[in-house]
Amino acid sequence: MDELIQASIKIILQNQSESGAYLACPNFPTYHYSWFRDGSFIAYAMTLAGERKSAERFYDWVASTIRARKAVIQRAVFKANMGILLAPVDVLHTRYTAEGEDGTTQEWPNFQLDGFGTWLWAIAEYQKESNEGLAPAWKEAASWIGEYLEALWQHPCYDCWEEYPQEIHTHTLAAIYAGFMALESLGISGYTETAQAVKDYIMQHCVYDGYFVKFPGSYTVDASLLGLAVPYQVVALDDPRMIETVNRIRASLMRGGGVHRYPTDTYYGGGEWVLLTAWLGWYEAMKGDVNLAYERLNWIKSQANKDLELPEQVPASMVDANNYQPWIKRWGEVASPLLWSHAKSMILYHTLDKKNSLSNPVIDGSYR
Ligand code: BGC
């Protein structure tokens, strides 16, 4: 197996706590939490790599973290259905300690919905491969999350980058849509209509001039829009709106070999993100654009340090270089190794492998 993939598995296992939670990044104090978003992709990647036990332990941990918050979920659903304004204490957190406690870092937004949809998607994918029935604890947690998302999906919340709280985000809606579809495939029925309503909303409000936008009213793309096709399957890989969106991601969010988040990103100067480059490659590999997918994988490999660790982002061709040092001063060097970067790279690798292409590299000699 490829040495970067082997190293990735090791790094992920080393940073999975006893509880099953994956720490987002061991060397970056601010990321000493587990996010359902990051973790679900990490667990999915570990399943592809044959590390099912690790994935199962993470999904178990999520289920018990959710089940411990039944009262919060019930209150949120009640208030949302009654049209009562939701306060921060009324919603589920987005970051948890390894012990399953709410993250307490002050002044850091916590209301996000995409991670819950992604978790549902991930456990449904896991179940497709598993011969066992759905664990009762997962089923209970999944049902609660279904109710929670059904009541809240039209509420503005922070996007997957923990920004723009006043908007309803296209990527978030895509993850929620996948979550509802996953519930159906898990045998928790009653969500087809809501899934369709989410999709209709996306088509009516999140498309501008033939491409998907970051949120209704925006004119720009965000690389997380890749999720609309892979893995959330709101649209087909070759849907004309998706193709136009990906063309715009390539044209406006790629200056070097990596992918930026969105055109006005300033976090650590707005560098190129490893996980987004892998995400683009994942889409390309699924679509059959294997040469392009190899280019992404090669670029990712060239970003690993001597210990084969991958960072969150690379400070090359930054969107706003003036914002690089201020972030270093505030939170330290860019997070590395970021487990989500490793996971998305593993997913890209395995997608190419599945297509039986790795043994027959298309880019002459450049893939090692
Ligand atoms: C990103 C989140 C991510 C977190 C941990 C943040 O900077 O915006 O998407 O979940 O880091 O990796």
pLDDT of the residue at 167: 97
Whether the predicted pLDDT of 341 surpasses 60: yes
User: Between the CA atoms of 51, 125, 119 and 283, what dihedral angle is there, to the nearest 10 degrees?
Assistant: 90
Cα 161 to averaged position of ligand 1 atoms, centre (Å): 6
CA-proximal residue: ligand 1, atom 5 (nearest): 24
Beta carbon of 160 within 6 Å of any ligand 1 atom: yes
Whether the predicted pLDDT of 364 surpasses 60: no
Contact 300, 308 (CB under 8 A): no
pLDDT-derived band of residue 108, with 50, 70 and 90 as boundaries? confident
Whether the predicted pLDDT of 363 surpasses 50: no
Cα 122 to averaged position of ligand 1 atoms, centre (Å): 18
Cα 166 to averaged position of ligand 1 atoms, centre (Å): 18
What would the mean pLDDT of 333-343 be, rounded to a whole number?
Answer: 98
What would the mean pLDDT of 279-290 be, rounded to a whole number?
Answer: 97
pLDDT of the residue at 142: 98
Among residues 134, 17, 137, 153, which one has the least CA distance to residue 68? 137
Beta carbon of 24 within 6 Å of any ligand 1 atom: yes
Beta carbon of 41 within 6 Å of any ligand 1 atom: no
Beta carbon of 163 within 6 Å of any ligand 1 atom: no
List pLDDT tens digits, range 131-167.
888 999 999 999 999 999 999 999 999 999 999 999 9
CA-proximal residue: ligand 1, atom 6 (nearest): 161
- For residue 113, what are the CA distances in angstroms to 26, 73, 168, 277? 24, 13, 10, 23
Class of domain 3-354 as given by CATH: mainly alpha
List pLDDT tens digits, range 322-335.
999 999 999 999 99
Chain CA centroid to CA 257, Å: 21
CA–CA distance, 255 with 148 (Å, rounded to integer)? 40
What residues are annotated to the active site? 159, 162, 312
- For residue 45, what are the CA distances in angstroms to 8, 125, 173, 187, 346? 10, 11, 22, 24, 6
Whether the predicted pLDDT of 9 surpasses 50: yes
Contact 258, 250 (CB under 8 A): no
Atom of ligand 1 nearest to the CA of 94: 10
Beta carbon of 38 within 6 Å of any ligand 1 atom: yes
Whether the predicted pLDDT of 27 surpasses 60: yes
CA–CA distance, 152 with 17 (Å, rounded to integer)? 31
CA-proximal residue: ligand 1, atom 8 (nearest): 161
Q: How many CB atoms are closer than 10 A to CB 247?
A: 12
List pLDDT tens digits, range 268-277.
999 999 999 9
Question: Which of 160, 262, 310, 313 for mutating ligand 1's site (highest number of atoms within 8 Å of CB)?
Answer: 160
Contact 210, 263 (CB under 8 A): no
Beta carbon of 222 within 6 Å of any ligand 1 atom: no
Contact 134, 187 (CB under 8 A): yes
Beta carbon of 162 within 6 Å of any ligand 1 atom: yes
User: Between the CA atoms of 197, 198, 201 and 203, what dihedral angle is there, to the nearest 10 degrees?
Assistant: -110
CA-proximal residue: ligand 1, atom 1 (nearest): 161
> How much is the mean pLDDT over the chain?
95
